[in-house]
């Protein structure tokens, strides 16, 4: 930490050596546990954290948990034993963090949560930066509701309800729990509620491959009944598009496709006429994260919880917006 190292450096005596020593050693050390690389969004998030660490001039100890909570817990424990200055992590699921967070607290190492939310005693972390997944879920349903009304869409099977299928994210992840909650809330309070039926909802684990597989199984059971797909991330939507084409149907036409994240792959799909909309989820949280870390270590007050700004994009503006997209 700053103070003691400056003292040691001064004690060494040689002015020039001391300055460079202090500069090198004064770098804040941040231990960061990432979930893995399940999606295009996650890759953008990881790249941003790494680039922002450079910009912030901090030393980043980065650990990839390969989609396992136990690996994240191990990484956090190892950051504690290495006595890093501050720990950041993306909780893969909402629960199961209490013990390791208590260990960090006992070691007096502040913790900043990034991206996903968690359920724990709020005194066990200092700050949380992320996205409002409940609002993203609401936006997804509202987009569908408006589009269906505007285009006077009728059920493909001639029935009286439009059938929705949902590809959910990782079980127990706040991004999945929140998006489901917001979607259901907007659905249940819509004056058009009776127009829709949720036909099937299953996890595709936020990956392209699983999204494709689960969509294949939905299509096997309900090929001619599905009108709308809400995929809780774009990667699953892109996997599902392949399954829909393989089943001889037209994505975005026979089945309305709405994803979440707003990654470049989804923009391309919208431009190609294969997807309808995506609810933005902003992965570029690195600068805010390191700024927050620095403030905490300088003893400044920081907000307990901050959401980053997000929008909604659809096929009507995809081509125009595409060149401005950063991820
Ligand atoms: O939507 C998805 C991912 O936690 C918000 O995780 C994030 C989600 C994102 O892998 O693509």
Task: Quick: pLDDT tens for 36-69.
Answer: 999 999 999 999 999 999 999 999 999 999 999 9
Q: How many domains does the chain have?
A: 2
The pLDDT, as a whole number, for residue 25 is 61
Helix (H, G, I), strand (E, B) or coil at 305: strand
Mean of pLDDT values over 306-324 = 94
**Number of the ligand 1 atom closest to the C-alpha atom of 261:** 1
Length of the chain in terms of residues written: 327
The pLDDT, as a whole number, for residue 26 is 82
Whether residues 124 and 160 share a domain: the answer is no
Longest dimension (CA), the chain: 86
**Number of the ligand 1 atom closest to the C-alpha atom of 40:** 11
| Assigned domain for 10 exists | yes
Q: How confident is the model at residue 309 (pLDDT cuts 50, 70, 90)?
A: confident
Whether residues 116 and 93 share a domain: the answer is yes
Whether residues 115 and 160 share a domain: the answer is no
Whether residues 168 and 91 share a domain: the answer is no
Whether residues 54 and 148 share a domain: the answer is no
| Assigned domain for 216 exists | yes
Strand partners, 162: 196
Q: For a pLDDT cut of 70, what percent of the chain falls above it?
A: 92
Among 14-23, 83-92, 251-260, 307-316, the least confident range: 14-23
CB of 176 within 6 A of ligand 1: the answer is: no
**Number of the ligand 1 atom closest to the C-alpha atom of 39:** 10
**Number of the ligand 1 atom closest to the C-alpha atom of 263:** 11
| Assigned domain for 327 exists | no
Spacing, Cα 43 to ligand 1 middle (Å):
10
Strand partners, 112: 88, 127
Q: For a pLDDT cut of 90, what percent of the chain falls above it?
A: 91
Q: Nearest 5 degrees, angle CA 175-CA 178-CA 182?
A: 135
Structure tokens given for 158: 């001639």
| pLDDT exceeds 90 at position 237 | yes
Mean of pLDDT values over 136-157 = 98
CB of 175 within 6 A of ligand 1: the answer is: yes
CB of 39 within 6 A of ligand 1: the answer is: yes
Residue 203 neighbours by CB under 8 Å, 6+ apart: 167, 168, 169, 170, 171, 176, 210, 214
Whether residues 164 and 265 share a domain: the answer is yes
**Number of the ligand 1 atom closest to the C-alpha atom of 206:** 10
CB of 131 within 6 A of ligand 1: the answer is: yes
Give the residue, 167 or 3, on which the prediction is more confident: 167
| Assigned domain for 322 exists | no
| Phi, psi values for residue 43, rounded to 5° | -60, -40
The secondary structure of residue 206, as a DSSP letter, is T
Whether residues 113 and 169 share a domain: the answer is no
| CATH number, residue 55 | 3.40.50.2300
Whether residues 273 and 298 share a domain: the answer is no
The pLDDT, as a whole number, for residue 21 is 44
| Assigned domain for 314 exists | no
Residue 241 neighbours by CB under 8 Å, 6+ apart: 251, 257, 269, 274, 275
Pairing mode of beta strands 277-280, 312-314: antiparallel
Please give the mean pLDDT across all residues of the chain: 93
| Assigned domain for 31 exists | yes
Which parts of the chain are beta strand (E)?
Answer: 29-34, 59-64, 86-89, 111-115, 127-130, 162-168, 196-203, 226-231, 256-261, 277-280, 305-307, 312-314
Structural domain harbouring 239: 133-281
| Assigned domain for 179 exists | yes
| pLDDT exceeds 60 at position 9 | no
Q: How far is CA 244 from the centre of its chain?
A: 25
Whether residues 245 and 142 share a domain: the answer is yes
CB of 261 within 6 A of ligand 1: the answer is: yes
Structure tokens given for 92: 């893969």
Of residues 318, 320, 314, 6, the one with CA closest to residue 148: 314
Whether residues 86 and 160 share a domain: the answer is no
Mean of pLDDT values over 176-199 = 98
Whether residues 165 and 303 share a domain: the answer is no
Spacing, Cα 323 to ligand 1 middle (Å):
22
Tens digits of per-residue pLDDT, 274-303? Answer: 999 999 999 999 999 999 999 999 999 999
């Amino acid at each position: 930490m700053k103070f003691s190292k400056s003292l040691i450096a001064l004690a060494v005596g040689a002015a020039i050596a001391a300055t460079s020593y202090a500069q090198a050693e004064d770098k804040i050390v941040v231990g960061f546990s990432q979930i893995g690389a399940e999606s295009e969004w996650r890759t953008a998030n990881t790249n941003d954290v790494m680039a922002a660490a450079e910009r912030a001039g901090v030393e980043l100890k980065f650990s990839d948990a390969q989609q396992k909570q136990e690996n994240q817990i191990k990484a956090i424990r190892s950051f504690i034993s290495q006595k890093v200055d501050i720990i950041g992590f993306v909780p893969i699921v909402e629960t199961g963090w209490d013990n390791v967070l208590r260990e960090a607290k006992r070691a007096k190492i502040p913790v900043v949560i990034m991206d996903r939310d968690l359920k724990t005693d709020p005194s066990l972390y200092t700050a949380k930066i992320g996205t409002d997944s409940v609002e993203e879920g609401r936006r997804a349903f509202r987009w569908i509701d408006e589009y269906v009304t505007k285009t006077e869409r009728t059920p493909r099977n001639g029935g009286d309800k439009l059938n929705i299928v949902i590809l959910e994210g990782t079980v127990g992840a706040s991004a999945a729990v929140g998006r489901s909650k917001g979607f259901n809330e907007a659905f249940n309070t819509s004056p058009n509620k009776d127009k829709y039926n949720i036909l099937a909802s299953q996890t595709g684990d936020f990956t392209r491959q699983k999204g494709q597989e689960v969509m294949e199984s939905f299509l096997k059971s309900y090929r001619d009944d599905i009108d709308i797909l809400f995929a809780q991330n774009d990667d699953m939507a892109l996997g599902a598009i392949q399954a829909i084409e393989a089943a001889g149907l037209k994505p975005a036409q026979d089945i309305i496709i709405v994803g979440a994240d707003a990654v470049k792959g989804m923009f391309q799909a919208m431009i190609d006429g294969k997807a309808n909309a995506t609810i933005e989820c902003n992965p570029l949280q690195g600068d805010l994260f390191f700024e927050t870390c620095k403030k905490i270590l300088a003893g400044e007050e920081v907000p307990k919880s901050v959401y980053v700004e997000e929008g909604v994009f659809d096929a009507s503006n995809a081509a125009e917006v595409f060149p401005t997209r950063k991820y």
